[in-house]
Chain A
């Protein structure tokens, strides 16, 4: 009874979606992402200039004659108690802070996510061991744990980075394990198994991208927290070793002079605040850029 003309495979109306653009372009489309991206590039340029030593003033050389001078056309952000240019020191300090933050968070994110995804995907004894391990790490207050690690290893930026990574690894583990439990049971993962896709590829191409959103958000939160921790550790004398400038050290040094020279505290503190806010904005932009479902929305 094929009475109705079988309409020749009637599938013409697939919606025309714009081609998907690059990650940067998609971050740029988000207002917060745009601000974050702009400022972070600026900070990076400043940091690199500071690291290269091409700034007009040496950040380490002391000029006793020019102690505690206010902001001027010569010293934009003024000078500290040893006559060092605060602008130059802040630029290098941003480099120091960002370096510690990026290295530590990258390490924590990679190790933590690998642990979390393995625990969530394989379950069983893998999950038991990983979960107990992170429970133990979580039992310590974060800053105490960082202090303990640095005290054990000694200071220096690499050790500060290790300390922060140790604190953040369990957080990444927890953040990635939960969504992996859901994604691991999803039909599209089963479908990949039936299709014979090798396990590493399933984990890398199908599980990871689908649990990446909370990880990415955590990365930006962790970066700002790492900058603060680095500053705090330096402030306590356990971070970057003087005379290398770091934002935390500068804030620490300014304790004695802030009453008479406000700029010694204000500019380094401002740099910390700006870096933290910028990373948060960038995180917002990244989160919306990573969701393909946003592409088709008006």
Chain B
């Protein structure tokens, strides 16, 4: 499948970002360790991983809910991690966040119309009923929704409001943190379709975060797979989801159940054993080695680097990298 044509312009550029949290009792937890990734304008970056992999921390850094300990976060060519008050508000008009739980992310005491109008007025945008109605229409809701409270809406309707609110400031980038995980199956497709439509109509750039490789595969142009605070594999959507190189991505691919009983259960050797280790005390060398079916001695001591496998496809695994090198050697 060809890539969507892009301007080649960079919308998001994250470089060598490190983020620690200090937690009582557990010491320092490393949420992100030297993570670098960039997204071209108009593209969808899918970020996949399990709990504790750092994908939500990445969302928080992109939207400046938090600042990195080191490294840089550039949004539309400007450093959002360094921005001061006035510039920050301006930058926030460029990048917006949609939360997983649309109920928790709406003020329970505010009517929908007031919530949308507030965003508009804070940013000194025209905020008449007309504009609120327009926003609601953009996400497929009738204008009468403006008079409701969040608790009077269904899960899907609330998530549409979450999206409408993010769109109110006319951002160029949306960070979507598990936007369909809390929704019923029959509603998920509606929200996914809405997102695809909005991306096309408004020319948006997406960072789509999810634990569900199936959904990410459908939406993303590029996929980044994260494990314990690091990106372990990155590349075009079809390569990463269909012919992944990293053993963790392969494990994810077989672990996400696909609604097709015709596909046999994964062979036992591909099933990852054990659980994600404590991020306060990550394993030495490659962080995946205690669970990895391919682990060798060097994986326990030497941390693998993200190296190109082919074209834009990169991954961090000693074993796969040296296999590829051997194959190249014999072919050449």
Report if A and B touch in the complex (beta carbons < 8 A): yes
Give chain A residues whose Cβ lies under 8 Å from the Cβ of B107: 188, 192, 206, 209-210
Give chain B residues whose Cβ lies under 8 Å from the Cβ of A206: 107, 110
Question: Which residue on A lies nearest to B102, using beta carbons?
Answer: A187
Whether, in the assembled complex, B142 has its beta carbon less than 8 Å from a beta carbon of chain A, the answer is: yes
Contact A196 B92 (CB under 8 A): yes
The smallest beta-carbon distance between A210 and chain B, in angstroms, is: 6
Candidates B142, B151, B156, B168; contact of A296 at CB < 8 Å: B151
CB under 8 Å from chain B, chain A span 195-232: 195-198, 201, 205-206, 209-210
Question: Which residue on A lies nearest to B177, using beta carbons?
Answer: A187
Contact B157 A11 (CB under 8 A): yes
Contact A198 B122 (CB under 8 A): yes
How many residues in A have their beta carbons less than 8 Å from beta carbons of B? Answer: 32
Whether, in the assembled complex, A191 has its beta carbon less than 8 Å from a beta carbon of chain B, the answer is: yes
Contact A11 B109 (CB under 8 A): no
Contact B104 A196 (CB under 8 A): no
With A197-B122, A210-B107 already in contact, the answer to whether A191 and B148 are too (CB < 8 A) is: no
The smallest beta-carbon distance between A22 and chain B, in angstroms, is: 15
Question: Which residue on A lies nearest to B95, using beta carbons?
Answer: A194
Give chain A residues whose Cβ lies under 8 Å from the Cβ of B123: 196
Q: Complex formed: what's the CA distance from A249 to B170 in Å?
A: 65
Q: What's the interface size class on B, roughly?
A: 35 or more
Q: Complex formed: what's the CA distance from A248 to B332 in Å?
A: 102
Contact B122 A201 (CB under 8 A): yes
Whether, in the assembled complex, B9 has its beta carbon less than 8 Å from a beta carbon of chain A, the answer is: no
Candidates B88, B108, B140, B162; contact of A292 at CB < 8 Å: B108
Of A12-20, A234-242, A260-268, A281-289, which stretch is located at the interface? A12-20
Contact B190 A191 (CB under 8 A): no
Give chain A residues whose Cβ lies under 8 Å from the Cβ of B169: 195-196
Contact B152 A195 (CB under 8 A): no
CB under 8 Å from chain A, chain B span 132-184: 140-142, 144-145, 147-149, 151-153, 156-157, 160, 162, 165-166, 168-169
Contact B104 A11 (CB under 8 A): no
Whether, in the assembled complex, B26 has its beta carbon less than 8 Å from a beta carbon of chain A, the answer is: no
Contact B99 A187 (CB under 8 A): yes
Candidates A11, A12, A194, A196; contact of B160 at CB < 8 Å: A11
Give chain A residues whose Cβ lies under 8 Å from the Cβ of B89: 196
Question: Which residue on A lies nearest to B122, using beta carbons?
Answer: A197
Q: Complex formed: what's the CA distance from A90 to B83 in Å?
A: 63
Whether, in the assembled complex, A124 has its beta carbon less than 8 Å from a beta carbon of chain B, the answer is: no
Give chain B residues whose Cβ lies under 8 Å from the Cβ of A209: 107, 109
Contact A191 B99 (CB under 8 A): yes
Whether, in the assembled complex, A29 has its beta carbon less than 8 Å from a beta carbon of chain B, the answer is: no
With A11-B141, A293-B151, A296-B152 already in contact, the answer to whether A194 and B96 are too (CB < 8 A) is: yes
The smallest beta-carbon distance between B240 and chain A, in angstroms, is: 23
Q: Complex formed: what's the CA distance from A20 to B96 in Å?
A: 30
Whether, in the assembled complex, A295 has its beta carbon less than 8 Å from a beta carbon of chain B, the answer is: yes
Contact A19 B147 (CB under 8 A): yes
Contact B106 A14 (CB under 8 A): no
Whether, in the assembled complex, B119 has its beta carbon less than 8 Å from a beta carbon of chain A, the answer is: yes
Whether, in the assembled complex, A298 has its beta carbon less than 8 Å from a beta carbon of chain B, the answer is: no
The smallest beta-carbon distance between A274 and chain B, in angstroms, is: 33
With A11-B142, A293-B149, A296-B149 already in contact, the answer to whether A194 and B106 are too (CB < 8 A) is: no
Whether, in the assembled complex, A10 has its beta carbon less than 8 Å from a beta carbon of chain B, the answer is: yes
Whether, in the assembled complex, A6 has its beta carbon less than 8 Å from a beta carbon of chain B, the answer is: yes
Q: Complex formed: what's the CA distance from A159 to B163 in Å?
A: 54
Closest 5 CB pairs of A and B: A9-B140, A187-B105, A196-B92, A187-B104, A196-B89
Residues of B at under 8 Å CB distance from A?
A: 63-65, 88-89, 92-93, 96-97, 99, 101, 104-111, 118-119, 122-123, 140-142, 144-145, 147-149, 151-153, 156-157, 160, 162, 165-166, 168-169, 190, 193
Jot down 12 A-B pairs with beta carbons below 8 A, ordered by A: A14-B148, A14-B152, A14-B153, A15-B153, A188-B105, A190-B65, A191-B99, A194-B65, A194-B96, A197-B118, A205-B118, A206-B110
Residues of A at under 8 Å CB distance from B?
A: 6, 9-12, 14-17, 19-20, 186-188, 190-198, 201, 205-206, 209-210, 292-293, 295-296
